[in-house]
Amino acid sequence: MTPRVAVVTGAGRGIGAAVVHRLAGEGWRVVAVDVAEDDPGLGYPLARREQLAEVAAKWPGQVLDFVADVRDQRAVDEAVAVAEREFGGLDAAVAAAAVMAGGRPLWETTDSEWESLFGAGVDGVFHLARAAVPALLRRPQPRTGRFVALASAAAHTGLWRLAGYNAAKHAVVGLIRGLATDLRGTGVTATAVSPGSTRTPMLQATAALYDLDDVEEFAQHQLAERLLEPEEVAAAVCWLCGPDASAVTGTVVHADGGFTA
């Protein structure tokens, strides 16, 4: 059987990297995309070029690392073009790139924080959809294309002093619902996954915004009474990328440990 092909953004670490590893482990070919440089509008470091290269190095011939800023449509277009050129097409696109900013009331949010939140977390999803959906539709019928975006528990409830992040993640869910409607009847689905507090560098950045010494304090908000691991969220994402998720579109899978129960 011909291997399926995916593009994954935010792939340098965290949930994005876990998605790449799981897809590759299931035989997929993957273009792993990350900006691989810091954003001056944020107060914490993003993934490094070396981290992205390490993700790909574990899967020689299966995973290609590609440095691109999801805020740049042409760069995202090229990532999709690489998937088609090197691997023969595209079957799934996973928009996992996002950043964290906040720690103050909405009215004190700076322009740079707002632009970073929406640039990576919303514009990035839009840019990937605009690049990837035509490629997904280029597959012959019957199609089984998948577009999956990472939302958040923050897309479904207000979080203290994270209103900008709330807004960005709500926008992701709205984008997915609209995209799924545009895709009706094509065989291509669009879904979102909303994680809860997951053990990632972005959660560490969130803890810093709240002046918390230990990310474990976030576990109290989840019925699981523990932090989630990136691999657990990746399992939900990768299931949505596969054939068994054919009936799921225009909706959200809450892989949140009961955060929003």
Which residue out of 28, 59, 147, 165 is catalytically annotated?
165
- Predicted confidence at residue 19, as pLDDT, reads 99
- Predicted confidence at residue 118, as pLDDT, reads 98
Contacts of 21 (CB under 8 A, 6+ apart): 55, 58, 59, 231, 234
Residue 210 a catalytic site member: no
| Element of type H or E holding 1 | none
Alpha helix stretches (DSSP H) within the chain = 14-25, 49-57, 73-87, 111-118, 124-137, 163-182, 201-209, 230-241
- Predicted confidence at residue 201, as pLDDT, reads 97
**Separation CA 2–CA 19 (nearest Å):** 20
Domain 5-255, CATH:
3.40.50.720
First CA to last CA distance, the chain:
40
- Predicted confidence at residue 1, as pLDDT, reads 75
Intervals of the chain under pLDDT 70? none
- Predicted confidence at residue 259, as pLDDT, reads 97
* pTM given for the model: 0.98
Closest by CA position to 195, among listed 164, 218, 174: 218
> pLDDT, tens digit, for every residue of 203-258?
999 999 999 999 999 999 999 999 999 999 999 999 999 999 999 999 999 999 99
